[in-house]
């Protein structure tokens, strides 16, 4: 009797919160309690990365699960966070690394939707095992995919893959550390030789 909605503060957010809503609930959910903070610096003299920003936030004692996406440009970063943390960050985030920053509250509506490019891959695979699908989508061998799984580099629907023999289905998302994401867009049945035809979308 529950449905689940996801929200990360803007369309296409990678890190999102989940909200469970009972089917009998007749009211309006209060929202995901996400705020946006903008930290700015002089981009002519400093270049800060996503890692720099995350390190500064961790240094303030903020846990990663209180933070959403960090949208870094040449001279600023928009930090999406739990709304309860916004005031604390506003008062305490004065430096990122050795670079002084100015912080202010920002409007979530001002964040442009994330535009993702994807490459469509049509492949025939021996089975819907995750090592076989990942090998086709990421352009590697099944043994390499199996090694990545053993090294805990691969996730299926954002959960660690436990075995190379795990099966996937249409709509599943495979993510690989350092390689991006892969969606199983379609499973189209079998060829005369018994191989399975799949359409994959690799986000680049």
Q: Which domain holds residue 55?
A: 33-110
Residue 20: inside a domain: no
Helix or strand holding residue 148 (H, E): helix 142-150
Residue 9: inside a domain: no
- Residue 187 and residue 131 share a domain: yes
CA count, 13 A, side-chain hemisphere, 10: 21
Residue 13: inside a domain: no
- Residue 128 and residue 73 share a domain: no
How remote is the C-alpha of 198 from its chain's centroid? 23
- Reported as a single tens digit per residue, the pLDDT across 108-146 is 999 988 777 889 999 999 999 999 999 999 999 999 999
Which of 43, 76, 110 is the endpoint of a domain?
A: 110
How many domains is the chain partitioned into structurally?
Answer: 2
- Alpha-carbon distance of 87 to 71, in angstroms, equals 19
- Reported as a single tens digit per residue, the pLDDT across 10-59 is 988 889 999 999 989 888 878 899 999 999 999 999 999 999 999 999 99
- Residue 56 and residue 123 share a domain: no
Helix or strand holding residue 71 (H, E): strand 67-72
- Full-model pTM: 0.64
CB 149 within 8 A of CB 161: yes
């Amino acid at each position: 009797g529950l449905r689940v909605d996801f929200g990360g503060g803007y369309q296409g957010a990678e890190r999102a919160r989940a909200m469970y809503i009972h089917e009998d609930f007749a009211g309006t959910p209060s929202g995901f309690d996400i705020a946006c903070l903008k930290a700015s610096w002089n981009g002519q003299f400093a270049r800060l990365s996503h890692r720099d920003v995350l390190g500064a936030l961790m240094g303030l004692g903020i846990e990663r699960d209180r933070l959403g996406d960090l949208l870094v440009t040449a001279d600023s970063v928009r930090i999406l966070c739990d709304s309860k943390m916004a005031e604390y960050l506003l008062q305490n985030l004065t430096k990122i690394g050795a670079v002084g920053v100015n912080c202010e509250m920002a409007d979530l509506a001002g964040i442009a939707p994330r535009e993702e490019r994807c490459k469509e891959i049509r492949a025939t695979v021996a089975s819907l095992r995750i090592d076989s699908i990942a090998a086709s989508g990421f352009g590697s061998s099944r043994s390499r995919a199996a090694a990545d799984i053993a090294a805990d580099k691969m996730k299926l629907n954002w959960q660690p893959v436990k075995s190379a023999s795990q099966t996937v289905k249409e709509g599943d998302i495979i993510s690989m550390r350092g390689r991006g994401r892969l969606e199983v867009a379609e499973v189209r049945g079998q060829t005369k030789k018994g191989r399975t035809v799949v359409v994959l979308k690799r986000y680049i």
